[in-house]
Chain A
């Protein structure tokens, strides 16, 4: 998607959802997963991903786990209990938003 403004507000919701489904993930893995799920339609930029992850971590929605992989350290992100609750409410919010936008973009023909 060329217009990244469209998904920017939903980025943290996407992250929470992916982490809920995959237990733990690292930054690069998240970018690849999004690419794969959207068949390359949506690309999360590195400059947006890490700030979003760090913000969620500071808010207490994510916790980190470090692992040694080959000759370097890898930082995995996992949902905390608060993160799980946050995911549910944010997804509901996003779904309502999508419906609202649908109503504007494709208004249902009204009778009369």
Chain B
């Protein structure tokens, strides 16, 4: 049986890249699919031209090419990322971490209740958090760029992890929603809810910027068993 040569496999990887699939895990699956289909054609007639068969198989993916597969893969991976965030967040509701969480909720609420000076301190802390978020976004982006330069192989989940699942700055969203309804509540409730929101946003940012990136390799090896086979 006629098989594809190493050069032809490389050509298939290049073909997926030309069609806007930049993630190695998605490329690998598509390469194997097209390669198997081409070999099937060769079983019937080994003289058929490689490039012609490649184009024929690519057409089967429909008018949008690989984009549908890629989009769905991104959605699926984003979902997995949120599952990871959720798992880590639940840890903060267990002992002993929950004690620290409760302390911070109390602290922020208490400060808010002190009016002027307290509100000023809380405002300063939230501002400091914002600066930290930007610092982390830039730090992770640098690691991402470096990684791409090093081996050119980017895994989709790795990209999501290094882009903090695009939730980085979104962690502030609840404040905006809250500011719009805040006037209709008594001040004590406003303080407690803000204490809760500020603490949650600190936890969320800590998870996406610190905990998950630190566990990146472990997570990737679990999701991508091919990483072990890569160097064989």
Query: A27, A64, A72 — which one has the most chain B CB atoms within 10 A of its CB?
Result: A72
* B32: A residues at CB distance < 8 A: 26-28, 69, 72-75
Q: Does B6 lie at the interface of the complex (its beta carbon under 8 Å from any beta carbon of A)? A: yes
Question: Which of A14-22, A46-54, A81-89, A98-106 touches B?
Answer: A46-54
Q: Does A66 lie at the interface of the complex (its beta carbon under 8 Å from any beta carbon of B)? A: yes
Total chain B interface residues with beta-carbon distance under 8 A? 33
The SS class assigned to the B binding surface is helix
State whether A70 touches B3 (Cβ < 8 A): yes
Q: How far is the CA of A69 from the CA of B31 in the complex (A)?
A: 12
State whether A71 touches B29 (Cβ < 8 A): no
Q: How far is the CA of A55 from the CA of B60 in the complex (A)?
A: 20
* B5: A residues at CB distance < 8 A: 71
Partner of B6, one of A28, A51, A66, A71: A71
Q: Does B77 lie at the interface of the complex (its beta carbon under 8 Å from any beta carbon of A)? A: yes
State whether B225 touches A28 (Cβ < 8 A): no
State whether A50 touches B29 (Cβ < 8 A): yes
Within 8 A of A (CB), among B41-75: 60-62, 64, 68-69, 71-73, 75
Nearest A residue to B31 via CB reads: A72
The SS class assigned to the A binding surface is mixed
State whether B33 touches A57 (Cβ < 8 A): no
Nearest-Cβ distance from residue A36 to partner chain B, whole angstroms: 13
Size bracket of the A interface: 20 to 34
Query: A50, A65, A68 — which one has the most chain B CB atoms within 10 A of its CB?
Result: A50
* A75: B residues at CB distance < 8 A: 28-29, 32, 226
User: 8 additional contacts, CB 8 Å, given A27-B33, A45-B61?
Assistant: A26-B32, A27-B29, A51-B68, A57-B76, A66-B225, A66-B229, A69-B32, A71-B9
Binding site for A on B (CB under 8 A): 3-6, 9, 28-29, 31-33, 35-37, 60-62, 64, 68-69, 71-73, 75-77, 79-80, 224-226, 228-229, 232
